[in-house]
Structure 1
Amino acid sequence: SLAGKSATAVAIGIALPLVAWLGFDPKTSNSPEALQGLALVFALGPAIAHALSAWLIAGFPLDETRHAEIRRELDAREATLVPAE
């Protein structure tokens, strides 16, 4: 939850000043260039973030087989720690 909220705050903290710098003003009629800047920020920003996320998890070594193995090890450890009732 904290990571999601932090990511949203960072995205807003970057996107809104960036579109303002590109000339977008929500209170007025905007130029085509300002609107294009707005479209690019809100199209390319998420695309770049998703590409970065995919790159980060691409080599993550946890697949279904490894997950099942870890689960068995944890269950075995728990069985030895918790006395049977």
Structure 2
Amino acid sequence: MVEWNEAIIQQYGGPGPRYTSYPTAPNFHDAISEDEIARSIEAGNTERRPLSLYVHVPFCDTVCYYCACNRIITANKARGAAYLDDLEREI
């Protein structure tokens, strides 16, 4: 039998942010100035830390009903490869 922890359900049982944005959308605000952003970018570049990027390749072989991303359902894996080739050229 499954035991439910009501405290955890109350703590985490609401809507959450989309998983593809960081910081998540509820944390967006205008309190940070453009100068602060520029200083943060410069500091990050100076520290030479590893960079993590999320790239959404919008070609899926099945529908994921939890996903809110734009996508094209196709069994043709070559479409994704061509998309990445184009993306690399643009970058």
Greater fraction of residues in helix: 1
Higher-strand-fraction structure: 2
Instruction: Pick the structure with greater CA Rg.
Output: 1
Answer whether TM exceeds 0.5 for this pair. no
> Which has the higher relative contact order, 1 or 2, with Cα contacts under 8 A spaced 6 or more apart?
1
| TM-score (structure 2 length as normaliser) | 0.27
